[in-house]
Amino acid sequence: MSPVVQSPPGVGELRYAADLTLADVDALEAFLTSRTDDVRRAHGFGNGVHCTVVSFQHALFLLCRELRDVFECDDGSRGVLRAKFRLWNQLCGIAACWADTDGYDRDRWRRADYYDAAKETEVLEHRRRRLRWSASRPCHWRVPFRGTAEEPGTLTAGESRTP
């Protein structure tokens, strides 16, 4: 098996796209390439499995290259952070099926939850406001009123209109 590059020790769990590093991208790409190289070598050239793996590796290369390009153009803007978030989460989605294999860095190679701490605070505050608003509103659904024997034209549970 090909060598697997691990994320730097002591970096901690990845929660924000702002904490993403090129080392994370390189390590995850190396891990996925090593896993797929084994399959590619096991099947002959031109075989359907071989072609599928080569296509996957090409798509992986393009996705990682696009993510590296975002790092190179990083000006600290919200747009760059949004692109990192989107591309990294796509890459992690591809890698998710290998999460239980040896060498997979579960702390770092996971989907980013938010762009950064400020976005997390904004989202959580929005949820709190929405919950407070919902709690202040009357219930939108009603239990059907079955009526009582004292009210003409209404039925109680278990009664029937037929005499």
Does 155 fall in a domain?
Answer: no
Does 158 fall in a domain?
Answer: no
- Written as one string, the DSSP assignment of 63-127 is HHHHHHHHHHT--S-HHHHHHHHHHHHHHHHHHGGGTTSTT--TTTSS--SBSSHHHHHHHHHHH
> Residue 157 CA to chain centroid, in angstroms?
48
Does 74 fall in a domain?
Answer: yes
Number of domains in the chain: 1
Gap between the Cα atoms of 118 and 132, Å rounded: 21
Does 141 fall in a domain?
Answer: no
Residue 1's pLDDT is 43
Does 163 fall in a domain?
Answer: no
Does 11 fall in a domain?
Answer: no
Residue 38's pLDDT is 85
Structure confidence by residue, pLDDT tens digits, 20-42: 999 999 999 999 999 999 888 88
Residue 48's pLDDT is 86
Which amino acid makes up residue 97? C
pTM of the entire predicted model? 0.70
Domain hosting residue 112, numbered range: 17-136
Does 72 fall in a domain?
Answer: yes
Residue 142's pLDDT is 53
Q: Which residues of the chain have pLDDT under 50?
A: 1-5, 9
